Amino acid sequence: MSHFALTIIGRDRPGIVAQVTEIVYRLGCNIADSSCSILGGQFAMILILSQPEFTGKESFGDAFAPLEETNLSVFIRTLKPGGEIRPHLEGEICMISVYGADQPGIVYKVAKELGDRQINITDLNTKLVGSQERPVYVMMLEAVLPITLCIEELMEVMGELEKKLQVDISVRSITPVEL
């Protein structure tokens, strides 16, 4: 079965998800994985789709033309076999929260500390909250620790980074729930 990555981006407005998923449904596609967010005023969506009869991105034809007519950009990419499968990652899952004054380099410096320790970031979101006079930068990360690293060690590293960046950083373990 072929799998595809569908990316949609454009100015946010109500109804985009319904419009996209109607097209996907009418094409007979299954949504295997998805992520949607508003970044600034831009809507961003990534879907991993499967469709047993489609052999390449040309199989979609002009099905997404109505989206492009509303100033949304649409990109389809055929995935190589295995590219649709979420890898099984060994290790403890944790949530890392960062709050503080907006400044260049927060995402890089946190991501660098994690990457240097082979910590896999599985989700990352940032935004400005608060008032225009007193904005607060918020970053939320979900990450998987390698089995060789405990959460207490990560807390110590993040505590040192917290002082350097003059922000608040918290790390907590997330217990996965199986259905």
- pLDDT tens column, 19-31: 999 999 999 999 9
Report pLDDT for 90: 81
The token pair at 113 is: 């500390």
Q: Can you say whether residue 129 is alpha, beta or left, with left for phi > 0 and alpha for psi between -120 and 50 degrees?
A: beta
CATH architecture of the region 93-174: 2-Layer Sandwich (3.30)
Contact 169, 158 (CB under 8 A): yes
pLDDT of residue 166 exceeding 90, the answer is: yes
pLDDT-derived band at 86 (thresholds 50, 70, 90) equals: low
Instruction: Enumerate long-range contacts of 22-29, CB under 8 Å, 24 or more apart.
Output: 23/63, 23/64, 23/66, 23/67, 24/49, 26/63, 27/51, 27/60, 27/63, 28/53, 29/4, 29/54
- 33 vs 50: CA distance, rounded Å: 10
**Domain boundaries along the sequence of the chain:** 2-78, 93-174
Share of the chain above pLDDT 90, in %: 80
pLDDT-derived band at 175 (thresholds 50, 70, 90) equals: confident
User: Quick one: average pLDDT of 136-156?
Assistant: 95
Superfamily classification of domain 2-78? ACT domain (3.30.70.260)
2-78 and 93-174: identical CATH topology: yes
